[in-house]
């Protein structure tokens, strides 16, 4: 459900807003790319190549052949770059990737992370792996995912508008973690 239709709607709205602010790409192409960006995600489509083919056919059938390759290239790199640092030099990519990343942070990001963790049957938090520097990495708990990915996203935004939106959402992640640890370590002194 973290990748459902409503994720697509939120990414479309974010992408549209970022592009209105930055005027980086054609608004129609931004919207089409946002709408299709998770269609061939390898976590959900058994075969990504088949997914790309479906997108390709869909675009051809709907008179979008001229923008097909650009859109496909962006979609391929969006899922690819979540696992690596490869970045595509296309303003369309900057906008849609920022939008996708923004939906992984803030309150929605917290909800999605715990939803995914539940789907994987991961622990919420594993207190045994708190290191001296206070970070929680190297486990499959959902709190550890904050340190492995979510708290890094604000530093990886492409556009100024994306950075501004990410700053607020990042702050919420920090407030959430602070409260989480406070409640986790509850004792009489907390009152």
**Residue among 15, 109, 143, 165 that touches ligand ADP (CB under 6 A):** 109
**Residue among 112, 154, 169, 170 that touches ligand ADP (CB under 6 A):** 112
Q: By CB under 6 A, is residue 100 in contact with ligand ADP?
A: yes
Any alpha helices (H) in 2-123, and if so which ranges?
Answer: 5-22, 27-36, 48-61, 65-81, 91-102, 106-119
Give CA–CA dist 176/130, Å, rounded. 17
Query: Which residues touch 55 (CB under 8 Å, ≥6 apart)?
Result: 36, 39, 40, 71, 72, 75
Among 64-72, 97-105, 117-125, 134-142, the segment contacting Ni ion (CB under 5 A):
97-105
Q: Is 187 helix (H, G, I), strand (E, B) or coil?
A: coil
Q: By CB under 5 A, is residue 38 in contact with Ni ion?
A: yes
Least distance between Ni ion and beta carbon 30 (Å): 14
Cβ count near 166 (within 10 Å) = 22
Give CA–CA dist 100/34, Å, rounded. 8
Q: By CB under 6 A, is residue 82 in contact with ligand ADP?
A: yes
Closer CB to ligand ADP, residue 32 or residue 78? 78
Least distance between Ni ion and beta carbon 126 (Å): 27
Among 47-55, 65-73, 104-112, 161-169, the segment contacting ligand ADP (CB under 6 A):
104-112
CA dist list (Å): 34 to 19, 119, 157:
12, 24, 16
Give CA–CA dist 82/157, Å, rounded. 12
Give CA–CA dist 97/39, Å, rounded. 15
Q: How many chain residues are in contact with ligand ADP, going by CB under 6 A?
A: 15
Site string for ligand ADP, 148-167 (x = CB under 6 A): -xx-----------------
Give CA–CA dist 52/68, Å, rounded. 10
Closer CB to Ni ion, residue 38 or residue 98? 38
**Residue among 100, 112, 150, 169 that touches Ni ion (CB under 5 A):** 100
Residues that bind ligand ADP (CB under 6 A): 2, 43, 79, 82, 100, 104, 109, 112-113, 116-117, 142, 145, 149-150
């Amino acid at each position: 459900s973290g990748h459902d239709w409503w994720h697509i709607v939120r990414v479309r709205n974010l992408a549209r807003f970022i592009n209105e602010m930055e005027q980086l790409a054609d608004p129609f192409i931004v919207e089409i790319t946002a709408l299709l960006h998770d269609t061939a995600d390898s976590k959900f489509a058994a075969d990504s190549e088949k997914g790309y083919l479906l997108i390709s056919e869909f675009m051809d059938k709907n008179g979008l052949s001229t923008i097909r390759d650009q859109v496909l290239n962006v979609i391929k790199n969006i899922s690819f770059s979540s696992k690596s640092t490869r970045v595509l030099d296309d303003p369309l990519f900057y906008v849609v990737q920022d939008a996708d990343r923004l939906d992984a942070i803030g309150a929605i990001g917290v909800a999605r992370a715990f939803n995914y963790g539940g789907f994987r049957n991961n622990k919420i938090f594993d207190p045994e792996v708190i290191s001296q520097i206070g970070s929680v990495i190297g486990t499959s708990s959902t709190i550890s995912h904050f340190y492995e990915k979510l708290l890094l996203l604000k530093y990886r935004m492409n556009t100024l508008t994306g950075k501004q939106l990410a700053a607020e959402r990042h702050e919420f992640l920090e407030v959430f973690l602070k409260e989480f640890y406070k409640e986790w370590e509850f004792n009489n002194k907390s009152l």
